[in-house]
Chains A and B, each alone.
Chain A
Amino acid sequence: MMPGRRVIIALWLVGLLAGCVVIVRTNFTADMSAFLPRAPSPAQQILVDQLHEGVVSRMVLLAIEGAPPDTLAALSKAIAGTLRADPAFGIVSNGDETAFGRDRDLLWHNRYLLSPAVVAGHFSPAALHAALQADVQLLGSDMGVVAKPSIPADPTGEMLRLIADFAGQAHPATRDGVWISTDASRALLMVQTVAEGFDLDAQEQALQHIDAAFAKARRAIPADMQTQAAQARLIQTGPPLFAVQTRDHMTADVKRLSMLATLLVAAILLFAYRSIRMLVLGLLPVLSGVIAGIAGVSLAFGFVHGITLGFGVTLIGEAVDYAIYLLTQTAPGAAPTATLPRIWPTLRLGMLTSVCGFSVMLLSSFTGFAQLGLFTIIGLIVALTVTRFVLPALLPRSFTTLASLVFAAPVLGLIRAGAKLRFGVLGLAIAAAMALAFHHGPYWDDELSSMSPVPAGEKSLDDQLRREIGAPDVRYLLAVQAPRSEDALVASEHVAAQLEPLVAKGAIAGFDAPSTWLPSQVTQRTRQAALPDAATLAANMAQAVDGTPFRPDIFAPFLADVAMARQQPLLRREDLNGSSLALRLDSLLVRTADHWLAMLPLRDVSDSRAIAEAVAAMHDKQLVLLDLKAESDRLLGTYLHEALTLSLAGSIAIVVLLSISLRSPRRTVAVLLPLAAAVICTAALLLTEAGRLSIFNLFGLLLVAAVGSNYCLFFERRLPDADHLARRRMVASLVIADLCTVVGFGVLSFSAIPVLHGIGLTVAIGACLSLLFGAILSVGRGRSTGWT
Chain B
Amino acid sequence: MADMHSVSHASATFVEQKFVQMLKQPLQSSGRLTYVAPDRLQKETLAPARSELIVNGDHLTVQQPDGKLRDISLSEFPELGALVESIRATLAGDAATLSRYYTPTLAGTADDWSLQLEPRDPRLRKLLALVRIHGDGTSIRAVETVDQDGDRTEMTITPDPE
User: Which A residues are closer than 8 A to B by beta carbons?
Assistant: 70, 95-98, 134, 136-146, 148-149, 151-152, 167, 170-180, 182, 184, 549-551, 554
Contact = CB atoms under 8 A, between A and B. Distances in A.
A309 to B, nearest CB: 49
Contacts, number: 104
Contacts of A184: 58
A145 B64 contact: no
B23 A136 contact: yes
B118 interface: no
Contacts of A138: 64-65
B80 A146 contact: yes
Given A148-B20, A175-B58, A177-B78, A142 B147 contact: no
Interface stretch (B2-10, B43-51, B103-111, B132-140): B43-51
A213 B23 CA distance: 49
A44 to B, nearest CB: 37
A142 B23 contact: no
A152 B66 contact: no
Contacts of A174: 58, 73-76
A517 to B, nearest CB: 19
A551 B20 CA distance: 10
A142 B51 contact: yes
Given A145-B128, A145-B147, A182-B58, A140 B27 contact: yes
A175 to B, nearest CB: 7
Please provide the 8 A-B residue pairs with the shortest distance between their CB atoms, ordered closest to farther: A174-B75, A173-B58, A140-B27, A549-B23, A137-B65, A171-B73, A142-B53, A177-B75
A182 B57 contact: yes
Interface string B72-88: 01111111100100000
B22 A152 contact: yes
Contacts of B62: 141-143
Nearest to B48: A140
Given A140-B48, A173-B73, A551 B24 contact: yes
Nearest to B81: A174
B24 A550 contact: yes
Given A141-B64, A550-B22, 9 more contacts: A137-B64, A137-B65, A138-B64, A140-B49, A142-B43, A143-B62, A144-B18, A172-B73, A173-B74
A134 B66 contact: yes
28 contacts: A96-B75, A97-B76, A97-B78, A97-B123, A137-B64, A138-B64, A138-B65, A139-B23, A140-B18, A140-B49, A141-B45, A141-B51, A141-B64, A142-B45, A142-B51, A142-B53, A143-B77, A145-B79, A145-B127, A148-B22, A151-B22, A152-B22, A167-B76, A171-B73, A175-B58, A175-B75, A178-B75, A551-B24
A149 B25 CA distance: 18
Given A137-B49, A148-B22, A143 B80 contact: yes
A550 B23 contact: yes
B112 interface: no
A733 to B, nearest CB: 72
Given A141-B64, A145-B80, A182-B57, A95 B27 contact: no
B28 to A, nearest CB: 8
A172 to B, nearest CB: 7
Contacts of A141: 29, 45, 51, 62, 64-65
A145 B80 CA distance: 7
B151 interface: yes
A95 B77 contact: no
Nearest to A181: B58
Nearest to B16: A140
B18 A139 contact: yes
A679 to B, nearest CB: 58
A141 B72 CA distance: 14
Nearest to B126: A149
A5 B62 CA distance: 91
Nearest to A163: B76
Contacts of A171: 73, 76
Nearest to A98: B123
B59 A173 contact: yes
A172 B78 CA distance: 14
Contacts of B83: 142, 145
A143 B77 CA distance: 9
Contacts of A551: 21-24
Contact of B80 (A142, A149, A177): A142
A228 to B, nearest CB: 15
A551 B23 CA distance: 5
A396 B71 CA distance: 84
A97 B23 contact: no
Contacts of B151: 148
Given A95-B73, A145-B128, A139 B24 contact: no
Contacts of A554: 22
Interface string B32-48: 00000000000101001
A428 B156 CA distance: 88
Interface in B109-155: 123, 127-128, 147, 151
Given A142-B43, A142-B51, A551-B22, A136 B27 contact: yes
A51 to B, nearest CB: 31
B75 A97 contact: yes
A513 B83 CA distance: 35
Contacts of A137: 49, 51, 64-65
Contacts of A151: 22
A137 B20 CA distance: 13
A97 B18 CA distance: 27
B127 A549 contact: no
Contacts of A142: 43, 45, 51, 53, 62, 80, 83
A172 B75 CA distance: 10
A139 B45 contact: no
A171 B72 CA distance: 8
Contacts of A549: 23-25, 27
A145 B48 CA distance: 18
Q: Counting chain B CB atoms within 10 Å of each CB, which of A143, A178, A179 scores highest?
A: A143
Q: Counting chain B CB atoms within 10 Å of each CB, which of A173, A178, A550, A554 scores highest?
A: A173
B52 to A, nearest CB: 9
A139 B20 contact: yes
A153 to B, nearest CB: 12
B91 to A, nearest CB: 16
A142 B58 CA distance: 16
Contacts of B77: 143, 146
A727 B87 CA distance: 95
A491 to B, nearest CB: 30
A44 B62 CA distance: 43
Contacts of B123: 97-98
Nearest to A554: B22
Contacts of A170: 71
B101 to A, nearest CB: 10
Q: Counting chain B CB atoms within 10 Å of each CB, which of A136, A151, A167, A172 scores highest?
A: A136
A551 B77 CA distance: 26
A516 B22 CA distance: 32
A183 to B, nearest CB: 9
A170 B18 CA distance: 31
B30 to A, nearest CB: 11
Nearest to A142: B53
Q: Counting chain A CB atoms within 10 Å of each CB, which of B23, B29, B62, B100 scores highest?
A: B23
Contacts of B25: 549
Contacts of B76: 97, 167, 171, 174
Nearest to B128: A145
A601 to B, nearest CB: 20
A174 B74 CA distance: 6
Contacts of A172: 73
A175 B78 CA distance: 9
